[in-house]
Structure 1
Amino acid sequence: MATESTEYGQGYGYRGGPGSRGTDAGERRRRLPTALRAPVEARSWRELGYVMLSLPLGIIMFTFAVTMVSLGAGLLVTFLGIPVLAAGLAGCRGFGALERARARGLLGAEVAEPEPLRMKKRGAGAWMGAMLKSGTSWRHLLYTVIQFPWSVFSFVVAVAFWSYGWLMLTYPLWFWLFPMYGGQGGLQLYGDGTHSVYLDNPFEIAVTAVVGLLFTMATPWIVRALTTVDRLMVHGLLGPSRLATRVVELESDRGVVVDAAAADLRRIERDLHDGAQARLVALAMDLGLAKEKLTEDPQAAARMVDEAHGEVKTALQELRDLARGIHPAVLTDRGLDAALSAVASRCTVPVQVEVDLPARPAPAIEGIAYFTVSELLQNISKHSRATRATVDVWRVENRLMLQVTDNGMGGADVSAGSGLAGLAERLDAVDGILVVDSPAAGPTRVTAELPWRG
């Protein structure tokens, strides 16, 4: 398995740098409490705009969907029903693209494009068949139907809270319109044939403003809760399905595995060409010279044979190391406990190994676990400046857990494009996870999680 050294000491320390003043300015702007800031924040106004637009768009989408589906279902007895239904579903997919763009612009919801139509042939018939068979198309139709009643509810709630809140909050600024133009002391709170209650004295005006302030501060959070439902609908109905997402992930993981296998083959070829193969070629030449000198100068021939014997031992050791790097025999014969202990014994730092496994996992998972620990210990030897390290291996339900810790200088960073990044990609290819906790000055704790697959 190819190994790449991880650079410790990168990506840590003082994070402010030259741009820290902008952070201070942002902190000054956020001295107001969140509740007081929310009514005037741009995010709140964008969310309100989203709710306001949802109603007219919902009416258009609902009308289109119901009309096209009803018309298509009614025409199924003729040859026109299928094209009408397919056109209706295509229109719903178009509305879905609009809704994803609207959610992205106003709500900041990043929704991936759904899977495209899969057509085995070209032509109008193949297109209509693919449209009608696509689950994505029917999910878009479902969205256009259920979005309308929800948009009515959210529109009414948002407009009511927002308008009443600001009207009551600003009531001290415009209450004078009632006695001047309305012929009454103030806003009428209650009235019947005999009694009337007006908000006309200073105390009642102040209480009205306070109630309006409470409404105004609560409205952004109510609107945010409403748009959370919209986010869920857009993600769940207009984005890619879980199955399609999983297929994309598996395709990506397969690419990672293929690339890793190709890199391993190149490394093995390079090690053989530059190491054992070169030594064996030199050994063959030396033995040829020794054969020629055997009758003329037996002593020189004996020295050359002795040197060749040493080269044979070196070549054998290199071949053993190469075989160990491909898949160590001790791992196959005795499992992770013995294999990791052998790796730890070759580390330049004292390593304590604890393996607590009730059984052996699948050979592929066992090999990945071995090479993960091997690469992490190699990084500790080269870069951590640690004086001790530990390796712990255990099982939690159907997951194999690995944890490698050291007391070195810390600063290991997966995002720095180092060997840890490649290791994380390889683990992800088999549904594994790599978590690195490495603050400046240490200690470093790297936890890997793999599927058991025993």
Structure 2
Amino acid sequence: MATEYGQEHGRGHGHPAGSGFPAYEGAGRSGLPAVLRAPFEVRSRREFGYVLLSLPVAIVLFTWTVTMVALGAGLLVTFLGVPVLAVALAGCRGFGALERSRARALLGVAVAAPEPLRTAKPGVFAWMGAVLKSGASWRSLLYALLQFPWSVFSFVVAVNFWVYGWALLTYPLWFWVFPMYAGQGGLQLYGDAHHSVYLDNPFEITMTSLVGLLFTLVTPWVVRGLTAVDGLMVRGLLGPSRLSARVVELEEDRGMVVDTAAADLRRIERDLHDGAQARLVALAMDLGLAKEKLREDPRAAARMVEDAHGEVKTALQELRDLARGIHPAVLTDRGLDAALSSVASRCTVPVRVEVDLPARPVPAIEGIAYFTVSELLQNVSKHSRARSASVDVWRSADRLMIQVMDDGVGGADATRGSGLGGLAGRLGAVDGVLVVDSPAGGPTRVIAELPWRA
């Protein structure tokens, strides 16, 4: 594993914004507070548009769902009820795809599609069974039933806030129509048989406009709160379930484990073929030549045997290094503290090692922790240009925590297809996490979390 540490890797290290909306164009230049910018932001217009569209979409979806489900339930006494219910659920799934797209485009809420339908064999009956057994289908139906009343409520609240806000804010521009067309002094607040109250003097007109301004400033935040509930409904009912997401994650992790194991086997085969095996073949040939020269030239044979003895030592050292790369004996015998100290002694910079564990974790987790630190220290040696480094290992609740720090040039990035990305994938295969904090200029801090199993 090799990850280059350099300033070119430091660019773009920040996390992307998750809102999904472009920033208000004048925000940086105007310096206005968010409460004053909100009514004019693109995000606010999109959210208001989402609320306006929700009502007609909800009416169509609710009508489809109630009609088809009622029809299907009524026909269950015959076989026709089953396909009708299947078509109803399939239609809800289709509307769910539309709602995910709408939420992504207008709210910036990116929700993955639920698990696809899985049929054991092709055919209409297999498809109907898959639709009826799919949890995503029934969650889409529940979304159709819940979204309708919520959309009505959101539409009424958002439209009233918006209309009343702008109507009152612009009241000084249109209050003059009352004496001209209605013969009154302004907008009537109260009236009975004895007296009436109109907004017709400058103070009342100004206060009306200020109330409208308050409504106008509050409306985007009210709409944002309403659409936040919509986002929760889309995520919770139209996305993949936690169980299916976990299954997909485990399948990906299993593939990662298989690929890693295959890569390790290829590496071991290559190292044996190019290293110890080649030396042993050459050693066998040299010993054969020494055997032939033993009677003719004993001195030459002795020199060849001596050279062969050196080759044996070299081959043994290569085999020891290879065995250490598979699983070091010191880790098995003495645990992480001694094994990590041995790794640190081979680093090109001074490394402080501190291991504070109440007990030894299971061998699998202990091995992953060892190789994680080993690869991170290799990065420090090859790319960091650091003067010192440190390794800390401790337990926090049910997690094994590893922190590797160095004072090098920084710029390490796990998102650019580097070795750190591969290491993060291998940790993820056992529910581990790798976090890299490496600004340009340093220092670099890498934290790895592994599940604690003793």
TM-score range, shorter chain: over 0.9
Residue type matched to 1:447 in 2? I
Deviates further, 220-229 or 112-121: 112-121
Query: In structure 2, how many angstroms separate the alpha carbons of the residues matched to 1:155 and 1:44?
Result: 15
How many angstroms does 1:11 deviate by?
3.9
Matched residue SS, 1:411: coil
1:8 aligns with 2:5: yes
Partner SS state of residue 77, structure 2: coil
More displaced, 119-128 or 197-206? 119-128
CA RMSD of aligned residues (A): 1.8
Q: What corresponds to 1:350 in structure 2?
A: 350
Aligned partner letter, 1:424 = A
- Report the alpha carbon displacement of residue 32 of structure 1 after superposing the two structures with TM: 2.6
The 3-state SS of whatever aligns with 1:94 is: helix
- Specify the code of the residue in structure 2 equivalent to 1:9: G
Listed as ranges, the matches of 1:268-287 within 5 Å are: 268-287=268-287
Match of 1:434 in 2: 434
Deviation at 1:12, TM superposition (A): 5.3
- Mapped to 1, the partners of 2:32 and 2:336 lie a distance apart of 56
Q: Assess, with a 3 A threshold, how the Cα gap between structure 1 residues 249 and 39 changes in structure 2: closer, same or farther.
A: same
Confirm or deny: 8 A CA contact 2:435 2:446 kept in the other structure.
yes
The answer (yes or no) to whether the contact 1:10–1:413 under 8 Å persists in 2 is: no
Name the SS of the counterpart of 1:151 in structure 2.
helix
Instruction: Tell whether the 8 Å contact from 1:411 to 1:439 is kept in structure 2 after alignment.
Output: yes
Is this contact kept in 1: 2:7–2:441, CA < 8 A?
no
Q: In the TM superposition, what is the alpha-carbon distance from 1:377 to its structure 2 partner?
A: 0.9
| 1:294-317 Cα shifts (integer Å, max 9, x gaps) | 111111110110010000000000
Partner of 1:234: 234
For residues 27 and 49 of structure 2, what CA distance do their matches in structure 1 show? 27
Q: Give 1:97-108 correspondences, 5 Å limit.
A: 97-108=97-108
2:368 corresponding residue in structure 1: 368
Instruction: Work out the CA distance in 1 between the residues paired with 2:229 and 2:149.
Output: 13
Deviation at residue 387 of structure 1 after TM alignment: 2.0
Letter in 1 for 2:126: A
Structure 1 residue 14 displacement after superposition: 7.2
Matched letter for residue 251 of structure 1:
E
The corresponding residue for 2:322 is 322
Deviation of 1:323 (Å) = 0.3
Q: Post-superposition shift, 1:384?
A: 1.6
Matched residue, 2:293 = 293
SS in 1 for 2:4: coil
Relative to 1, partners in 2 of residues 1:82 and 1:14: Cα closer, same or farther, differing over 3 Å? Answer: closer
Question: CA shift at 1:252, angstroms?
Answer: 1.0
CA apart distance, 1:105: 1.5
Residue 101 of structure 1 deviates from its aligned partner by: 1.4
Q: How many Å apart are 1:187 and its aligned residue?
A: 0.6
Aligned to 1:386: 386
- CA deviations 1:86-139 (Å, max 9, x no partner) are 111111111111111111121121111111111112222222221111111111
* Deviation of 1:74 (Å): 1.6
Report the alpha carbon displacement of residue 203 of structure 1 after superposing the two structures with TM.
1.3
Q: Is the 8 A contact 1:140 1:237 kept in 2?
A: yes
Report the secondary structure of 1:393's partner residue. strand
- Does the CA-based 8 Å contact 1:10-1:416 persist in structure 2? no
Deviation at 1:434, TM superposition (A): 0.7
> Counterparts of 2:450 and 2:338 in 1: how far apart (Å)?
19
Amino acid at match of 2:236: G
Distance 1:204 1:344 in 2: 78
Counterpart residue number, 2:248: 248
Which residue identity is paired with 1:201?
A: N
Q: CA deviation at 1:8?
A: 0.9
Q: Distance in 1 between matches of 2:396 and 2:239?
A: 33
Closer/same/farther in 2, CA of residues 425 and 14 from structure 1, 3 Å limit = closer
Q: Count matched residues.
A: 446
**Quick check: 2:27–2:37 contact (8 Å CA) kept in 1?**
no
TM-score by length of 1: 0.95
Q: Counterparts of 1:200 and 1:12 in 2: how far apart (Å)? A: 66
d(CA) in 1 for partners of 2:2, 2:56: 58
Q: Distance in 1 between matches of 2:444 and 2:12?
A: 19
Q: Distance in 1 between matches of 2:30 and 2:427?
A: 40
Give, in whole Å, the separation in 1 of the partners of 2:69 and 2:322: 66
State the distance in 2 between where 1:328 and 1:319 align. 12
CA contact (8 A) 2:10 2:410 kept: no
SS in 1 for 2:415: helix
The 8 Å contact of residues 357 and 395 in structure 2, kept in 1 or not, is answered as: yes
TM-aligned CA distance change 1:315 to 1:26, over 3 Å: farther
How do residues 189-208 of structure 1 correspond to structure 2 at under 5 angstroms?
189-208=189-208
Partner Cα separation in structure 1 for residue 281 and residue 393 of structure 2 = 43
* Conserved? CA contact 2:290–2:301, under 8 Å: yes
SS of match in other structure, 1:440:
coil
Other-structure match for 1:188 = 188
**SS across alignment from 1:415:** coil
Distance 2:294 2:37 in 1: 95
Q: Which residue of 2 aligns with 1:44?
A: 44
Tell me what 2:124 maps to: 124
* Corresponding residue for residue 417 of structure 1: 417
Q: Classify 1:449/1:112 alpha carbon distance in 2 versus 1 (closer, same or farther; 3 Å).
A: same
Identical columns (%):
78
Structure 2 letter corresponding to 1:6: T
Instruction: Identify the residue that residue 17 of structure 2 maps to in structure 1.
Output: none
Seen in structure 2, the aligned counterparts of structure 1 residues 15 and 450 have a Cα distance that, compared at 3 Å, is closer
SS at match of 1:167: helix
Q: CA deviation at 1:79?
A: 1.6
Q: 1:285 to 1:389 in 2, by over 3 A?
A: same
Q: Which moved more, 1:180-189 or 1:125-134?
A: 125-134
Aligned residue for 1:197, secondary structure, equals strand
The 2-side partners of 1:266 and 1:317 are apart by 20
**1:111 pairs with 2:108:** no
Native 8 Å contact 1:403 1:448 kept in 2: yes
**CA distance in 2 between partners of 1:275 and 1:53 (Å):** 68
CA pair 420-15 structure 1, distance change in 2 beyond 3 A:
closer
User: 1:217 and 2:214 equivalent?
Assistant: no
- Rounded to whole Å, the distance in 1 between the matches of 2:404 and 2:449 is 12
Paired letter, 2:77: V
Q: Which amino acid aligns with 1:415?
A: T
What is the TM-score normalised by the length of structure 2? 0.95
How big is each residue's C-alpha offset from its partner over 1:280-307, in whole Å with a ceiling of 9 and x where there is no partner? 1111111111111111111111011001
Which residue matches 1:20? none
CA contact (8 A) 1:8 1:384 kept: yes
Q: Report the equivalent of 2:19.
A: none
Alignment deviations for residues 347-372 of structure 1 (CA, whole Å, 9 cap, x no partner):
12121111111111121111110000
Contact 2:189 2:197 in 1 (8 A): yes
C-alpha deviation, 1:211, in angstroms:
0.9
